[in-house]
Structure 1
Amino acid sequence: MTAPSSIDPARFLSEQLEQASPDLLRQMLTTFINTLMSAEADAVCGAGYGERTAERTNVRNGYRHRDFDTRAGTLDVAIPKLRSGSYFPDWLLERRRRAERALTTVVATCYLLGVSTRRMEKLVESLGITRLSKSQVSEMARDLDGQVADFRHRPLDAGPYTFVAADALVLKVREGGRVVGVHALVATGVNADGHREILGLQVTSAEDGAGWLAFFRDLTARGLTGVQLVTSDAHAGLVVAIGATLPGAAWQRCRTHYAANLMAVCPKASRLSRVSWKLRWRSPA
């Protein structure tokens, strides 16, 4: 059984990145914000950094640093300075809550689905920036795409990962001119420092045993070790993949999925409300 279809994948990944990998989110936000400001400053100057053209109207002149407080921590953003006049990212520092939400969402979406020029254009437009060229947007997309790829293939060297949770999200994507359903396999673990960490994410055409086996083999090849307990739903292929790749690790069925399975076969009149179910589950015998 997969997660409910009502889950917003970008929001889910955004929350996971905020809670489980604050260092990653801070790094990606800082790089993306600085790249966006640099591109906008180039647009104001009429030419790229270090480029000599007849269309240039101004020149870059270093940076001034300013703290930007976010839910992922305080970021050190480098605001470009100009030789004549000034540049100030009012879209970021005067509407910071809106900007932070938009930036965090696009980072999570890029992590989940990859980076595209069209997605970058939509983000830039949502922030009220209209001066960037197609080439600048493409360059920003390539920069962020590289960061996402590095994180998704990084070695898992913060182990042992004692506890691991695995699940799948059902997504709708456009492929070959039509909308198809895919499954995003996600694993989250608790590292040696006691912090949650997103271990991996892979998109497959179906949630089957072969997909889960390849997913866990990739995690172990990247360094997943020391696992003592894996929590997931009761998908047969997933349970088999856990046993094949993590020998010695115990498996426990997720109680949220178990409750959903129970309610799916019960008449509506016999179902407990979510609150009542939680109270009865936690009450002593």
Structure 2
Amino acid sequence: MTQLQFNLDMDVLKESIMNSNLELIVKSTLVLVLNEYMEKERDDYLNAAAYERSLDRRDYRNGYYERELIMSIGKLRIKVPRTRGGEFSPSIFEKFSRVDQTLILSMLEMVINGVSTRKVKNIVKQLCGQSVSKSFVSSLTEKLDPVVKAWANRPLNVEYYPYLYADATYIKVRENNKVISKAAYLITGMGEDKKRKVLGFKIDHVESFQAWQEFFQDLKSRGLQSPKLVISDAHAGLKKAIERVFIGTAWQRCTVHFKRNIVNALPKTGSRQIISDLRKIYQVVSVEESRKYRDKFIELYAENKKVRKAIEILEEGYEDTIQFLNEPEKYQIHILSNNSLERLNQEIRKRVSVIRIFPNNQSAFRLIGALLMENENLELNKKVYLTAERNFA
């Protein structure tokens, strides 16, 4: 273990404490410790103490140079020892990379939680009295890449997910000097323990059959087994991709979206009882009960011209919205709609609205991936810390 020795003039130290604020005392003490630590490291590197003659000497001392180290307590100016050959480098800069890791994690957390790089820059200046550039904050977030990539490509063959939820939300990305709209595809799965997990996400062009098909095939290549049911909206390309990739899997149309379409076809006023009767169709636990209420609804309002369009929508999409009733009752309330994924997409949109336009696909993938990891309560901070400590330069 490295041992440090300090020669302190207690009268000078006492006077400094009496006439200084606590912040300056902490900074001065830390500078003293770091300087002494680097001096000891140079001695160990040279295999010789100051003024010592030794046959094992590797190099010779060559004075010092000043360098700044930004930490959460502010900016420190330290004296870095150097050698004549120039090969010696103190470990302090490997560990702190000129910026305290605590400060690094704080900046990363701000970015992940939707704080713009400009605001992060201003916050750091207020906290530390030292400004960092926007490009520095942006380059810092790139240290998330290996963490997010490893998580996004993790194996999926360790657990079976009988129910999948699929949806996409749109973001703006700058590409070839143009701002274009791109789709952020997202798949979550619910296991037999009723716990939901994010299984995959990707950034691609507009929602299409080909994009969804490639996405599902990628999930299968990572070990995902064909589910019993996929819950989503009625996007034609998505439905077709489910049929092609997951042979024998049923498709559940989101009942919330479907009922909303029916209600939008009803008169704006005087429809309260109609809506109440419509809801009864899905407040059941068996297909037989649902069909009974469906038939009753159609019979009751068949002669009402104002409800005719709503009845047509119901008849056209009804069978696809009752697939959840073929599953065990304990799962039914969890798989009749895509609401859980909708809420997750809302959270993504809220954070993304701060950024407005991503500079490229990778930055969008990085931020959305970090948000999804955080949503699952993974030990993101710990992983980011280790990654930043290894890679930050």
Where do 1:235-250 residues align within 5 Å?
Answer: 235-250=235-250
Aligned to 2:379: none
Q: Is the CA contact 1:158–1:191 (under 8 Å) kept in the aligned structure 2?
A: no
Deviation sequence 1:260-283 (CA, Å, 0-9, x none): 33244445347669x969965665
Where do 1:194-273 residues align within 5 Å?
Answer: 194-269=194-269
Report the secondary structure of 2:225's partner residue: coil
For 1:278 and 1:225, the matched residues in 2 are separated by 35
1:131 has 2:130 as partner: yes
1:107 has 2:112 as partner: yes
For 1:176 and 1:41, the matched residues in 2 are separated by 38
User: Any unmatched runs of 5+ in structure 1?
Assistant: 1-37, 54-58, 64-79, 82-87, 93-98, 110-117
Bigger strand share: 1
- How much does 1:156 deviate? 1.7
For 1:158 and 1:193, the matched residues in 2 are separated by 14
- How much does 1:188 deviate? 0.5
- How much does 1:201 deviate? 1.2
Aligned to 2:335: none
- How much does 1:239 deviate? 1.1
Aligned to 1:167: 167
Report the secondary structure of 1:268's partner residue: coil
For 1:108 and 1:278, the matched residues in 2 are separated by 40
- How much does 1:197 deviate? 0.8
- How much does 1:193 deviate? 5.1
Aligned to 2:27: none
| Pairing partner for 2:76 from 16, 38, 45 | 45
Going from structure 1 to structure 2, the CA distance change for 1:246 and 1:270 (only over 3 Å counts) comes to farther
Aligned length: 199
Deviation sequence 1:168-208 (CA, Å, 0-9, x none): 11223333444322221111002465421111111222111
Q: Is the CA contact 2:122–2:131 (under 8 Å) kept in the aligned structure 1?
A: no
- How much does 1:108 deviate? 6.4
Rg (Cα) greater in structure: 2
Measured on the aligned residues, the alpha-carbon RMSD in Å equals 4.3
Deviation sequence 1:207-226 (CA, Å, 0-9, x none): 11111111111111111115
- Structure 1: which amino acid aligns with 2:252? Q
Report the secondary structure of 2:206's partner residue: coil
Q: Is the CA contact 2:166–2:232 (under 8 Å) kept in the aligned structure 1?
A: yes
- How much does 1:248 deviate? 2.0
For 1:149 and 1:211, the matched residues in 2 are separated by 19
For 1:239 and 1:230, the matched residues in 2 are separated by 9
- Structure 1: which amino acid aligns with 2:109? L
- Structure 1: which amino acid aligns with 2:122? E
Going from structure 1 to structure 2, the CA distance change for 1:282 and 1:151 (only over 3 Å counts) comes to same
For 1:195 and 1:186, the matched residues in 2 are separated by 17
Deviation sequence 1:68-97 (CA, Å, 0-9, x none): xxxxxxxxxxxx79xxxxxx97x97xxxxx
For 2:278 and 2:171, the matched residues in 1 are separated by 28
Report the secondary structure of 2:210's partner residue: helix
Report the secondary structure of 2:154's partner residue: coil
- Structure 1: which amino acid aligns with 2:148? V
Between 246-255 and 127-136, report the one with greater CA deviation: 127-136
Aligned to 2:40: none
For 2:165 and 2:255, the matched residues in 1 are separated by 12
Where do 1:22-37 residues align within 5 Å?
Answer: none
- How much does 1:255 deviate? 0.9
Percent same amino acid among aligned pairs? 29
Q: Is the CA contact 2:163–2:228 (under 8 Å) kept in the aligned structure 1?
A: yes
Going from structure 1 to structure 2, the CA distance change for 1:139 and 1:248 (only over 3 Å counts) comes to same
Going from structure 1 to structure 2, the CA distance change for 1:243 and 1:144 (only over 3 Å counts) comes to same
Going from structure 1 to structure 2, the CA distance change for 1:178 and 1:254 (only over 3 Å counts) comes to same
User: Any unmatched runs of 5+ in structure 2?
Assistant: 1-68, 83-90, 285-292, 294-393
For 2:172 and 2:241, the matched residues in 1 are separated by 25
Q: Is the CA contact 2:155–2:222 (under 8 Å) kept in the aligned structure 1?
A: yes
Report the secondary structure of 2:168's partner residue: strand
For 2:278 and 2:109, the matched residues in 1 are separated by 35
For 2:245 and 2:70, the matched residues in 1 are separated by 45
Bigger helix share: 2
- How much does 1:120 deviate? 4.2
